[in-house]
Amino acid sequence: MDSKRVLFFSMIICYAGFGVINPIMAPLVREIGLDEQQAGWIISIAAFVLLVSAPIWGRLSDRVGRKKVLLTGFIGFSIGLMIFGSVSWFGMENDVNVMVIFILIMVSRVLFGFFFPAMTSSAQALMADFTDVKERSAGMGMLGAATGIGFIIGPAMGALLSGIHLVIPIFVASALVLCVAWFSYKRLPNVTHQRSNKKTKIDLKRVGLRPYLLICTCVMSIFATLQIVGGFYIQDVFQLGAKETAIWLGIGLLSVGIMMALVQMTIIQKRSYPPLTLLRIGLPLFIAALLVLLFTNHLALYLISYMLVGVASGFTIPGYTAGISLAAGEEVQGEAGGLTAAASGIASLIVPVVSTSLYVVNQSLPFWIALGIVVLLLLYVCFGHKSLVFQQVEKSVVE
């Protein structure tokens, strides 16, 4: 098995561990006795730590090596999942002060947020090491496919195993992440880099870098809104119980992962599209997905909206990821991966608290605001940014 495939498999498990929580988070916090806003804080604390730590891990992977950072991330992430599952189980099965459980869950999420970007930033840097400029979009699409497949396995595992107990999927995910840490240790090479004595640091003023980071934050804000309040939305709109919600949300997120993986493995891998082209295809699909969700009155339409989200993500995620990688420069790919994770972390920090607070005001409000953001983003990508920035990035991919 070559290095790219090993990395591909490893990141599938990484994102499965991330995605396993999504279908069970909404019913889990309610079973413990927490409310929607506390759920938002649980997610946001992890995002805040991710935002702070992601650039650090990225620079560290440039300095000490991708593999060491990747393995550290796997082990720490597994421990964070184990603590989260244990505290949640204890809170469900025992009569304990809810605030104590809330604080302990917050601690476990700090570990989650600290170690997760160690995996993602080093993986992005490794893929950049394994690909040349012409292959970069396809390589990042391969990581995107791993994300999609992870979101197939994770939510499906969460939905199926939650029928036994809501926390069982978390423990299984923790064990799988430990297994893949050993697998990566055995199979991934130690990549060394020729570096000058002068410390190299990424220049945020490099052509194209800041626009793609902004796009990353905006896209992940839309994605996070659908993930976080989507569970509450279908539970309340369709009057579902906790386990029914976990199952239906799991199916919805499963459809996201399937469509994302199909797009990235069949379309993106066949032809290395320029980053801007991928964004111009994906963003209108996000608009369609949000409109279907807002006007749905049947669970089948809800599933269609999530399938559209998967197709949209299949184009947009490798689009902005490849754009950031190409704009950053070959000598700082670890830090570029860290910046990508940090840009996503900004969305994950702000969106949970804001979207859950908006949801309390009106169930549809978070989705209308998300729709407005993606419309503005599409206008920006298509008409508002015609400088040489995107042309240069696209040229480097095609030639």
pLDDT in tens, the chain (399 residues): 678 888 889 999 998 998 888 778 878 888 888 887 788 788 778 878 888 888 888 888 878 888 899 999 999 999 999 999 999 999 888 888 889 999 999 999 999 889 998 998 888 888 888 877 667 767 777 887 787 788 778 877 887 888 888 899 999 999 999 999 999 998 888 765 554 444 556 666 665 677 888 888 888 888 878 777 888 888 888 888 877 887 787 788 778 878 888 887 787 766 667 778 888 899 999 999 999 999 887 888 989 999 999 999 889 888 888 777 777 766 667 777 777 777 877 877 788 778 888 998 999 999 999 999 899 988 888 876 554 344 444 433 333
Q: What is the pLDDT of residue 312?
A: 93
Residue with tokens 């799988």: 176
Q: Of 24, 27, 46, 45, whose CA–CA distance to 36 is shortest?
A: 27
Written as six digits, the tokens of 49 are 């730590």
Q: Of 317, 18, 357, whose CA–CA distance to 140 is shortest?
A: 317
Q: What is the pLDDT of residue 389?
A: 46
CB 358 within 8 A of CB 366: yes
Written as six digits, the tokens of 17 are 């561990």
Q: Give the Cα separation of 156 and 283 in Å (integer).
A: 26
CB 275 within 8 A of CB 381: no
Give residues with Cβ within 8 angstroms of 139, minimum separation 6.
4, 127, 128, 130, 131, 322
Q: Give the Cα separation of 28 and 250 in Å (integer).
A: 13
Residue with tokens 């979207």: 355
pTM greater than 0.75 (yes/no): no
Q: Give the Cα separation of 11 and 130 in Å (integer).
A: 15
CB count in 10 Å sphere of residue 129? 18
Q: What is the DSSP letter of 65?
A: -
CB 335 within 8 A of CB 56: no
Alpha helix ranges (H) inside 33-135: 36-64, 66-93, 98-130
Q: Give the Cα separation of 290 and 302 in Å (integer).
A: 10
Q: Give the Cα separation of 108 and 111 in Å (integer).
A: 5
In the chain, domain spans: 3-187+205-398
CB 51 within 8 A of CB 342: yes
Residue with tokens 């420069």: 329
Written as six digits, the tokens of 122 are 């080093």
Alpha helix ranges (H) inside 190-298: 209-228, 230-237, 242-263, 275-294
Q: What is the pLDDT of residue 48?
A: 83
CB count in 10 Å sphere of residue 265? 18
C-alpha 382: how far from chain center? 25
Q: What is the pLDDT of residue 160?
A: 83
Q: What is the pLDDT of residue 399?
A: 34
DSSP letter string over 350-382? HHHHHHHHHHHH-TTHHHHHHHHHHHHHHHIII
Q: What are phi and psi of 191, to 5 degrees?
A: -85, 125
The four Cα atoms 250, 151, 275, 375 give a dihedral, to 10 degrees, of 20
Tell me the residue length of the chain. 399
Q: Between 1.20.1250.20, 3.40.50.300, 1.20.1740.10, 3.40.50.9100, what CATH number should domain 3-187+205-398 receive?
A: 1.20.1250.20
